Amino acid sequence: MVTVQEYGPILAMTVAWVAMLGSLYYSEIRGFVPCELCWYQRILMYPLALIILIGAVRHDDYLPGYVLPFSLLGTGVSTYHYLIQQGLFGPTNACSVGVPCSLRYVNYAGFVTIPFMALAGFLLISVVMGVVYWSFRRVSES
């Protein structure tokens, strides 16, 4: 029987690795210079790739507790960054030096930008880890 405790961490790890490699592709191969908020998102996503890998290999029941603080904070930063790009917030002091945070290097389908992709990754990791946490609690209560 397939369980969320087994395959949830693998799904979350896959998302984290795709996000990490995607950000490296955009900066190192395509030459897009990350803005300051992009760096914050990377600081929150890159450790998740390693933390989830180790937790999945060790079958760590406490993995959601390690992952959720990073992924939920990343969701907040990505949401804020995306809203800046959409013009709902003005530029901040963090975005005043170097590359502006409102710059859109990509704009797939009219709304999918790099912060949107990061937001989707953080949200998916958060939801998966939330379900894993909930399933561990249900099993321990039984």
In tens, the pLDDT along 46-60 reads 999 999 999 999 999
Q: 34 by DSSP, 3-state: which? A: coil
Q: How confident is the model at residue 103, as a pLDDT?
A: 87
The confidence score (pLDDT) of residue 138 equals: 67
Residue 96: pLDDT above 70? no
Do 118 and 21 contact (CB within 8 A), yes or no? no
DSSP structure class, residue 28: I
| Residue 19 confidence class, pLDDT cut points 50, 70, 90 | very high
The maximal CA–CA distance of the chain, rounded, in angstroms, is 54
Q: CA–CA separation, 68 vs 101, rounded Å?
A: 25
Please state the domain extents for the chain: 4-141
Provide the pLDDT for residue 140. 65
**What is the rounded average pLDDT of the residues 88-117?**
85
pLDDT at site 47: 97
Fold held by 4-141: Bromodomain-like (1.20.1550)
